[in-house]
Structure 1
Amino acid sequence: MSAKRMHIDRDRLYTDLQYRFDYVSQFIGFTEVDQELIHRSASVVSGLVPTIVDAVYDRLSNYDATWSHFAQDQDGMQIKQTAERGGYNGSQVSIESEVIKFRKVMLTKYLKKLVTSEWNLSYLKYLDWVGHIHTTTPLKRSNINVEYIHCNALFGYLSSVVLGALAKVTEWDADTRDGIIGAYNRFFWLQNDLFSRYYVKDQVLTDKEKAAVAAEKKEKEDEMRRRLRMESMLNAAVGLAAGSILATVGFKYLARG
């Protein structure tokens, strides 16, 4: 047991990106040495990227629950949908579809950034954006909304593919290879956390999120009031029309009498 227990500010874990990243990094042992090892792997990993990307999308294509997301309009691409709303259906999207080619390019860029980017706040914000863009939150409305179970499963598979490929590399000595594999393993846990932070709130919201939730609630209430007003106006119009008809019929009846 360490001589001095480190204090962690619980609220800052949910409101301060750098603070959260530093805490999780320290906890799992992701250090500057790991960052250097990932950069050191660039020359080898860059050559593995196409194989890794193909493996990921082949796996995604095996399940309608994951593949159906590519049948939806994507940020940066508009896709004509033929699937019924609410169902798992991605049959109109093939592995050769433009949307899959587009997504493969994005994953390729992501992996290349990993081995070349400086570990600064700008890159950290990019990793956080990768997590945020896939989720539905009060602060973001986009067409890419993936349930966390699929994101978690994908990271498990992606890490196994990458670590398996690294384990076969012969350009490094055993210690270097083990160090690089460990660095990537810890990185994937860090990235997974930057996904989960948008799904698992643990009852802590930032001021912006609180404001967004309040605004969304007000918008729904305003919409309900508009509907009630329209229904009231419609009922009134129907009542007037019915009254007019009855009056006309009554007048004719009295005239006949």
Structure 2
Amino acid sequence: MTSTPKHIERDRLFTDIQYRFDYVSQFIGFTETDQEYIRKSAPVVGGLVPTIVDAVYDKLANYDVTWGHFSQDQDGMPQDRESPAMCSRNSSDEPPVEMNSEVIKFRKVMLTKYLKKLVTSEWNLSYLKYLDWVGHIHTTTPLKKSNINVDYIHCNALFGYLSGAITGILSKCDEWDEDTRDGIVNAYVKFFWVQNDMFSKYYVKDRVLTEKEKAAVAEAKRENEDNVRRELRTESLLNAVVGMVAGVVIGMYGFKHIGCG
């Protein structure tokens, strides 16, 4: 333990991607050496990507609670409303998405790109924004238009599965000497905790919204209030019309009754 703890600006952890990454990485010990180990694994992991992707989707297909999310629209996905394979299936009465559908093919391509970026990208701000974007698109948050919203429990479980699957494969690889292999395995374990954090930031309640997000929340609240007011005005108008009609009917009935007397 150092004599003087390093000061961390709490609010900045939620507004500055680089600052958050630096803190989490330093805390868990994810260093430039680990990043180099991940790049060193590229020749092996790159060849395993199709197998890893298929294994992930086989795992997701085992549970209706995870597979059901693939009936929802995702950012970046081409939307052809005339094609049954590409349309949103939000009704529980509709059949589940098939493994060979265009929806799953698209998402497999996205996961393939993700894994290939992992072993080839430089760890700069641009890549950190990409990792943050991957977390963002899976949640319903301000500034995001797509419908997909995956509960965090499934994201966390998937990272646990991915971490175990990849490190399990790499730990048996004889491509490297023992020290290099151990370094690569440890680097992947640390990475998945870093990526998991970039998901959890969009779920935890202690997150601090950016000014843009605050404005989006306020706008959404105003729109909701406007909708409520419109509904109340419509309801009031309807009640007034009903009251007027009832009054006319009652008046006519009373007039007729008096005439008959």
Normalized against structure 1, the TM-score is what? Answer: 0.93
In 2, are the aligned partners of 1:14 and 1:201 still within 8 Å (CA)? no
CA separation of 1:81/1:92 partners in 2, compared to 1, >3 Å: closer, same or farther? same
Give 2:187's aligned residue. 183
Q: Which amino acid aligns with 2:245?
A: A
Aligned positions, number:
253
Give 1:238's aligned residue. 242
In 2, are the aligned partners of 1:46 and 1:112 still within 8 Å (CA)? yes
Give 1:57's aligned residue. 57
SS of the equivalent of 1:15 reads: coil
The farther-off stretch of 68-77 and 41-50 is 68-77
Give 1:135's aligned residue. 139
In 1, are the aligned partners of 2:201 and 2:207 still within 8 Å (CA)? no
Unpaired segments ≥5 residues, structure 2: 80-85
Give 1:167's aligned residue. 171
Give 2:45's aligned residue. 45
CA separation of 1:199/1:49 partners in 2, compared to 1, >3 Å: closer, same or farther? same
Write out aligned runs for 1:199-210 (5 A).
199-202=203-206, 204-210=208-214
Distance apart, 1:150 and its partner CA:
0.5
The farther-off stretch of 71-80 and 140-149 is 71-80
Give 2:87's aligned residue. 79
Q: Which amino acid aligns with 1:117?
A: S
SS of the equivalent of 2:99 reads: coil
Distance apart, 1:99 and its partner CA:
1.1
In 2, are the aligned partners of 1:134 and 1:146 still within 8 Å (CA)? yes
C-alpha separation in 2, matches of 1:49 and 1:25: 25
Give 2:150's aligned residue. 146
Cα offsets for 1:57-88 (capped at 9, x unmatched) = 1110111110111122333244252733xxxx
Distance apart, 1:255 and its partner CA:
3.3
SS of the equivalent of 1:138 reads: coil
In 2, are the aligned partners of 1:67 and 1:90 still within 8 Å (CA)? no
C-alpha separation in 2, matches of 1:46 and 1:65: 30
Give 2:252's aligned residue. 248
The farther-off stretch of 204-213 and 148-157 is 204-213
RMSD: 1.7
C-alpha separation in 2, matches of 1:80 and 1:26: 41
Does residue 1:216 correspond to 2:220, yes or no?
A: yes
SS of the equivalent of 2:14 reads: helix
Give 2:14's aligned residue. 14
C-alpha separation in 1, matches of 2:243 and 2:106: 56
In 2, are the aligned partners of 1:70 and 1:90 still within 8 Å (CA)? no
Task: Give identity over the alignment, percent.
Answer: 70
